[in-house]
Chain A
Amino acid sequence: MKHYIKFELKNTLGYSLAMIVGGLLPMILAIGNYHATSNTLANQALAKGLFATLLPMIPLGLVILPFTISFGRDMADGVTTRFVLFGYRMAKQLVAKFVSVAILVSLVTVVYCLVLYQVLPLPSMSMLSLANVFASTMILTAALYLLSFAIAQVFKGFNMIQGVAMVCYFGIAFLTGSMGTFQLPRTLEKAIEWIPFAAIRETLKMHWGSNTVTDMQTEWFKLIVFLLITLFLFGLAEFYRRLKIHAV
């Protein structure tokens, strides 16, 4: 598995789109949207808000766009099948790809924290909050990873998959308020609450220095529900994939 993970890590790093959208963009948006005032507390609040708002954009950018597109392309080109025939089975591919993207998300999150702490006037974060940042980023990565696999399985053709991935990326970014704010119908707003970007953002902003686990309960509940929803979609897509092979 070590070699597979190494391979997938190099493969993921090869997608410059991932590094731009998932690595650079959240940092650039956070720094670019910060405007210092003479009020230190307001500056800190703005910095915290930007940090928390753009944090979920890291897994979103590193997973949804490049992974869905590369999955789609690999499936269409027969790369996935070629790998399976070399003994690199689908389950192993999924695990190795996930571990590689999890490593990448962790590294980018570390860089994100280090850079923003240097550039923005962020107050000290509690250890619990910092742990929560990494843990929730990982859960979000897992959920988005399952979603990207489901998209690549269900939709046919590289262009279609690329289109759906774009819609997902920008849809999630806009609707969850990570890129701008919109007045949405109440029902839609309620539904979007279950994409836990807002939960991550609000929890982090409100409990930046908290050392109480219960402060993170709501966020974790929403993260787990989102993970379960994507797991269900993944299951459906996997069922569909197997059906395609055997429907001959």
Chain B
Amino acid sequence: MLEMKHIKVNYGEFVALDMGRDIIVDAHDIVGIVGSNGAGKSTLIKALTNQVAYTGKIVKPGQIAVHLQENNYPATVTCRTILEGLLQTTYKKDPKLIELVQFFDFEKNLKKKVAQLSGGQKQRLTIIMVLYQDAPLTCFDELSTGLDFETRFNLMAKIKAWYANKPAMILLITHYFDELEKLANKLLIIDQGYVVDYDLTTMLFAKYVGYSAVVIDAPQLAITLPKGCDIIRGEAGQTVIGCDNQNSQQLVIAHLNQHGFTFSATRTSVTLIYLNALHRREINRLGQTS
């Protein structure tokens, strides 16, 4: 279990993170940490790994594996030397490492130096070492940033497959919310250093979106909504209808079909959770100030 009790990190006068509440991550939880750039997500990982000073209390496992946003290695040695040196093993004698290297299709890169690797290959090198540790807590900080769609998709599929049926507590920072929909069971939403909300993804969806959401690719659609439905926040160029129950959802869908609209329905969208959580926080803040 991981417990973060009122963690606060200051960079001089600037408050980088002020969680203001306790966050408890249970064993087997995969927590997606979302927030805009500078929200304090990476600062949280740095506090967890003692890279920055913090106030509050963190009760954490003895070993934490971390994938940082930038992972640099000496340019003088080969990938195999890095793997063997940092993991304290011998490649040929280590079936677990061989499995991981093969799993990530990395054998052909073992003799290369880091400078010769592509962005995706560099990520794989770090991921291999992070996964090898089999730590009770693993943090991935923007694992797939800068990778093309195919590489990102394959990488996430491999990570999901690797962790299937493994006891692991994972903190996953990403701007690609589709990755969280596939992997995370909990969300920690951070905005400007403050925790907006933290709960199971399903609970947060119910809280901020409803039973389901119908997303129509048309901005500011004028539509008469049935009872139990409401227009909620969505991405630019979309109209999103939040439905409280299955009946209201069916009514909305029937109506849209009747009028020939293109739409999709979701019960898992992290984007909608995030946008509406921030929107509600803004409303609350404005309400408090007025």
Interface set of A (CB-CB < 8 Å, partner B): 2-4, 6-8, 10-11, 13-15, 70, 74, 77-79, 81-83, 85-88, 245-248
Q: Which of A11, A81, A86, A87 contacts B76 (CB 8 A)?
A: A11
User: Could you tell me the distance between the alpha carbons of A191 and B73 in the complex, rounded to whole angstroms?
Assistant: 40
Contact between B71 and A3, CB atoms less than 8 A apart:
no
- Interface residue B287 (Cβ < 8 Å from any Cβ of A): no
User: Could you tell me the distance between the alpha carbons of A54 and B234 in the complex, rounded to whole angstroms?
Assistant: 73
Q: Which chain B positions have C-beta within 8 A of A79?
A: 72-74
User: Could you tell me the distance between the alpha carbons of A87 and B129 in the complex, rounded to whole angstroms?
Assistant: 11
- Interface residue B49 (Cβ < 8 Å from any Cβ of A): yes
Q: Which 7 A-B pairs have the closest CB atoms?
A: A14-B76, A7-B85, A3-B88, A248-B53, A77-B72, A246-B53, A86-B86
Nearest opposing residue in chain B for A12, CB measure: B76
Q: Could you tell me which residues of chain B, from 50 to 79, have a CB within 8 Å of some CB in chain A?
A: 50-54, 63-66, 68, 70-77
Contact between A4 and B88, CB atoms less than 8 A apart:
yes
A6, A15, A77, A86 pick with most chain B CB within 10 angstroms: A86
Contact between A78 and B70, CB atoms less than 8 A apart:
yes
Contact between A88 and B76, CB atoms less than 8 A apart:
no
Q: Which chain A positions have C-beta within 8 A of B74?
A: 11, 14, 70, 74, 79
Q: Which of B49, B77, B90 contacts A11 (CB 8 A)?
A: B77
Nearest opposing residue in chain A for B45, CB measure: A85
Nearest opposing residue in chain B for A85, CB measure: B66
Contact between A10 and B49, CB atoms less than 8 A apart:
no
Q: Which chain A positions have C-beta within 8 A of B73?
A: 79, 82
User: Could you tell me the distance between the alpha carbons of A6 and B87 in the complex, rounded to whole angstroms?
Assistant: 12
Given A4-B88, A78-B68, decide whether A248 and B77 contact each other with a Cβ distance below 8 A: no
**Distance from A14 Cβ to chain B, minimum over Cβ atoms (Å):** 3
**Distance from B143 Cβ to chain A, minimum over Cβ atoms (Å):** 15
Given A85-B49, A245-B52, decide whether A14 and B84 contact each other with a Cβ distance below 8 A: no
User: Could you tell me the distance between the alpha carbons of A87 and B89 in the complex, rounded to whole angstroms?
Assistant: 13
Contact between B85 and A4, CB atoms less than 8 A apart:
yes
Q: Which chain B positions have C-beta within 8 A of A81?
A: 51, 68
Given A3-B89, A88-B86, decide whether A248 and B72 contact each other with a Cβ distance below 8 A: no
User: Could you tell me the distance between the alpha carbons of A10 and B82 in the complex, rounded to whole angstroms?
Assistant: 10
**Distance from A189 Cβ to chain B, minimum over Cβ atoms (Å):** 39
Q: Which chain B positions have C-beta within 8 A of A88?
A: 85-86
Chain B 167-181 near chain A by CB (<8 Å), digits 1 or 0:
000000000000000
User: Could you tell me the distance between the alpha carbons of A167 and B71 in the complex, rounded to whole angstroms?
Assistant: 31
